[in-house]
Amino acid sequence: MVIFRKHVAGLNERALHRFVARACRTVGLRGEVNVLLTSNAQMKSLNRRFRGKDKATDVLSFPGPPESRKEFAGDIAISAEIAAQNARALRHSPAEEVKILALHGILHLRGYDHESDHGQMEKKEQRLRRQLRLPLGLIARAVAAKEAKELRAAEEPRAARPRPRKAAALRRSAPRLRRPA
């Protein structure tokens, strides 16, 4: 089941339902998956309640009970607002961003955990992204952003870095010029 509490440009319930079914088959996830597209306010509330984090997040996954996972794999909640922001920043459609987030959630429902699996989820997400014709996925984006930040810091010329003490000492020692009378 797909529930739209917030509209996403270029996406309807039927199209998202078809994508989720295809992604689940590709991942080998059995059982029904419910997807909720909602607001930042509701995502913040869910994140606070279930993860103890008082902020909105892009996607949350809630696995079904272990004894009935063949019938019900779990629920995925997606922030339509964060999806739209990410899509603008990354120059792809909000519909593609929602699909990226849904795929990420499906992988969590399948049992992957990028915080503890030493890159297994990232590799799987990259392969599935290509197979499902989606742009850069969540984990790859986070890794790329971190590497870019580290590279910028390493490449910053030493002279360009502020040195307040040295600059102040230079100003004090510089000869003062007098204006001609």
Q: What is the pLDDT of residues 87-122, one digit of tens each?
A: 888 888 999 999 999 999 999 999 888 777 777 888
Instruction: Give pLDDT, residue 3.
Output: 87
- pLDDT higher than threshold 60 for residue 85: yes
- The pLDDT, as a whole number, for residue 26 is 92
Per-residue model confidence as pLDDT tens digits over 8-47: 988 999 999 999 999 999 999 999 999 999 999 999 999 9
Nearest partner of 57 among 78, 37, 76, judged by Cα: 78
pLDDT computed for residue 181 by the predictor:
46
Q: Which domains does the chain have, with CATH numbers?
A: 2-152 (3.40.390.30)
Confidence at 73, pLDDT banded by 50, 70, 90: very high
Residue 122's pLDDT is 84
Cα–Cα dist 67/25, whole Å: 20
The mean pLDDT of the chain is 81
Provide the H-helix boundaries in 30-79.
40-51
Phi, psi of 45 (to 5 degrees): -65, -45
DSSP string over 62-73: EEPPGGGTTTEE
Please give the share of the chain, as a percent, with pLDDT higher than 70: 75
